[in-house]
Amino acid sequence: MSGTNPYLEQPAPARPARPYKVRFEPMGIEVEVDPDALPEEWDGLPGSLLQIALAAGVRIDHACGGVCACSTCHVVVRAGESALPPATEAEEDMLDNAPGLTLHSRLACQAVPDGSADLVVEVPGWNRNLVKEGGE
């Protein structure tokens, strides 16, 4: 499933031009992101923080399947925010429902880094999905 909501009109995010890193806190998991090998089999927009996290084994709740229809994938960008495009109005509307909202809050399913900076992303405790479904 992709992170496209058929009820929202939004441009496709730009693909990053160079490799970059994303560190997920408090887990301390750092991921080197190759723009030519972005994960796309996960929920969220292609190349989104949600896809990067899930591909790296970082469990972030995303009840709507990553289509910008809830706020469960709320994260806080602690560094590298300039590498993200501004939040859309739809994302901001969903963030209004997120607990612990900050000026640096984003929906992981919609935030697609452009590769211009490394990022540090905090996954709040209530958004860490510690239950793993399936056979793994």
CATH number of the domain within which 113 lies: 3.10.20.30
- The answer to whether residue 87 sits within a structural domain is yes
Structural domains counted in the chain: 1
pLDDT at 135 (0 to 100): 41
Calculate the dihedral angle through the C-alpha atoms of 21, 17, 124, 131, rounding to the nearest 10 degrees. Answer: -80
Is 16's pLDDT higher than 90?
A: no
Specify the pTM: 0.84
Partnered with residue 118 across adjacent β-strands are none
- Residue range of the domain that includes 118: 20-127
CB neighbours of 25 closer than 8 A, spacing ≥ 6?
Answer: 78, 120, 121, 122, 123
- The answer to whether residue 136 sits within a structural domain is no
pLDDT at 136 (0 to 100): 41
The model's pLDDT over 60-89, given as tens digits with 9 standing for 90+, comes to 999 999 999 999 999 999 999 999 999 999
